[in-house]
């Protein structure tokens, strides 16, 4: 015969109106809810974001490896390779994909935002080191929170807004705008042969972060209607069209040679990989979480600058990086 205490517990469980409640048969009781048993964040979303981060740093390293290659011509070749590879991959995995699907409004919007982001980021690297550009680009997490609140009605608490302000101050220390810091210091290792002013490169990189964030918002909003390789195809197509239009307007085209062709192929592979990874990440997580994890890009970028290019950041740059990294670590601790 069962003990009276066990019968009592079974009866209480059966008549309870809250199916999330369970009481132990011992002297003390605990309450467990179904929501508590579920993980707060998706591991797959985090893993795909880290893969996207690694693809971004790899692409930036390839781009910085030979800065002497003509910029627009290299981007045009990179877009051509990206278009062809993404189209064949799309048809391989989805033979039924139609032109209407490829040129859907969401894919066009993704392509426009993504191509503008990649163009401005590539231009910013003409005057910024990888770690500096990556630190500024890390403000994607801030833009994700703001745009997610506006367009997707995601939560964006006051603590994250305050951290966004701290990150912005960090960006100012990295960019060092002339109207606050005077003329730029050409002894800085990242500005030995600046093609464009340092503050212009910083502003371009900030614009790149904003447009990439908008692309993520579009992807998240239509994640069930957007074909990944179709979005990558549009990204390359629009960027290639913009570069080609500029070359026609300029009136002359420089040869990029065999090294340029190899570089463009590597750039296309990195870009396609990071875009695919971010699309997959947004299938599992909201943009604000993807933005928080994306701050890990700073670590990979600093390692690339030190190990590959032997470039050390300046003192003010280190302070700005520390402010952004500290804010990132705080957010990740709150998210754990």
Mean predicted confidence (pLDDT) in 278-296 = 81
Residue 287 has pLDDT above 50, yes or no: yes
- pLDDT for 120 equals 92
Residue 34 has pLDDT above 60, yes or no: no
Residue 22 has pLDDT above 50, yes or no: no
Could you tell me the pLDDT band of residue 37, with boundaries at 50, 70 and 90? very low
b/e sequence 110-134, b meaning 16+ C-beta within 10 Å: bbbbbbbbbbbbbbbbbbbbbbbbb
Q: Which residue has the higher pLDDT, 11 or 142?
A: 142
Could you tell me the pLDDT band of residue 244, with boundaries at 50, 70 and 90? very high
DSSP assignment of 234-283, as one string? HHHHHHHHHHHHHHHHH------HHHHHHHHHHHHHHHHHHHHHHHHHHH
Tell me if 215 sits within 8 A of 117, measured CB to CB: yes
Q: Please state, in angstroms and rounded to a whole number, the distance separating the CA atoms of residues 295 and 141.
A: 7
Residue 24 has pLDDT above 70, yes or no: no
Residue 12 has pLDDT above 60, yes or no: no
Phi/psi of residue 26, nearest 5 degrees: -75, -175
Q: Which residue has the higher pLDDT, 261 or 44?
A: 261
- pLDDT for 73 equals 92
Q: pLDDT digits over 77-102, tens only?
A: 999 999 999 888 888 878 887 878 78
Which residues, other chains included, contact 162 with Cβ-Cβ below 8 Å and sequence gap of 6+?
A: none
Q: pLDDT digits over 125-146, tens only?
A: 888 877 788 778 878 878 888 8
Q: Which of 236, 297, 299, 332 is nearest to 49 (CA)?
A: 297
Residue 228 has pLDDT above 80, yes or no: no
Mean predicted confidence (pLDDT) in 43-49 = 83
Tell me if 113 sits within 8 A of 214, measured CB to CB: yes
Could you tell me the pLDDT band of residue 336, with boundaries at 50, 70 and 90? low
Q: Which residue has the higher pLDDT, 213 or 186?
A: 213
Q: pLDDT digits over 191-225, tens only?
A: 455 678 888 998 999 999 999 899 888 888 765 55
Of how many residues is the chain composed?
A: 336
Q: pLDDT digits over 105-128, tens only?
A: 888 888 899 889 988 988 888 888
Residue 226 has pLDDT above 70, yes or no: no
Percent of the chain with pLDDT over 70: 78
Q: What is the mean pLDDT of the chain?
A: 77
Residue 334 has pLDDT above 80, yes or no: no
Which residues, other chains included, contact 146 with Cβ-Cβ below 8 Å and sequence gap of 6+?
A: 156, 164
Q: Which of 164-173, 186-195, 271-280, 286-295 has the highest mean pLDDT?
A: 271-280
* Burial of 150: CB neighbours in 10 Å, binned 0-12, 13-18, 19+: exposed
Mean predicted confidence (pLDDT) in 180-185 = 63
Which residues, other chains included, contact 132 with Cβ-Cβ below 8 Å and sequence gap of 6+?
A: 174, 190, 202, 313, 317
Q: pLDDT digits over 248-273, tens only?
A: 998 888 999 999 999 999 999 998 89
Mean predicted confidence (pLDDT) in 46-54 = 88
């Amino acid at each position: 015969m069962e003990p009276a205490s066990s019968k009592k517990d079974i009866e209480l469980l059966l008549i309870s109106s809250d199916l999330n409640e369970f009481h132990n048969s011992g002297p003390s009781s605990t309450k467990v809810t179904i929501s508590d048993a579920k993980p707060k964040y998706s591991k797959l979303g985090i893993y795909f974001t880290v893969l996207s981060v690694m693809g971004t740093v790899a692409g930036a390293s390839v781009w910085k490896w030979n800065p002497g290659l003509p910029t627009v011509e290299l981007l045009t070749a990179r877009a051509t390779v990206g278009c062809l590879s993404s189209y064949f991959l799309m048809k391989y995995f989805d033979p039924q994909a139609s032109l209407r699907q490829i040129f859907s409004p969401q894919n066009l919007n993704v392509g426009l935002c993504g191509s503008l982001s990649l163009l401005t980021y590539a231009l910013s690297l003409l005057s910024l080191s990888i770690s500096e550009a990556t630190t500024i680009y890390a403000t994607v997490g801030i833009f994700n929170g703001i745009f997610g609140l506006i367009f997707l009605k995601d939560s964006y608490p006051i603590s994250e807004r305050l951290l966004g302000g701290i990150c912005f101050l960090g960006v100012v220390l990295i960019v060092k705008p002339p109207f606050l810091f005077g003329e730029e210091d050409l002894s800085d290792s990242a500005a030995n042969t600046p093609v464009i002013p340092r503050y212009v490169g910083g502003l371009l990189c900030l614009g790149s972060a904003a447009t990439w964030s908008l692309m993520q918002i579009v992807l998240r909003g239509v994640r069930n209607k957007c074909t990944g390789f179709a979005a990558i195809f549009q990204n390359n197509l629009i960027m290639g069209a913009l570069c080609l239009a500029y070359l026609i307007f300029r009136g002359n085209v420089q040869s990029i040679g065999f090294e340029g062709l190899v570089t463009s192929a590597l750039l296309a592979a990195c870009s396609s990989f990071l875009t695919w990874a971010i699309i997959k990440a947004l299938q599992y997580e909201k943009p604000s979480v993807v933005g928080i994890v994306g701050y890990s890009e700073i670590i990979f970028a600093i390692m690339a600058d030190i190990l590959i290019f032997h470039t050390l950041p300046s003192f003010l740059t280190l302070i700005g990086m520390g402010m952004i990294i500290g804010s990132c670590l705080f957010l990740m601790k709150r998210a754990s």
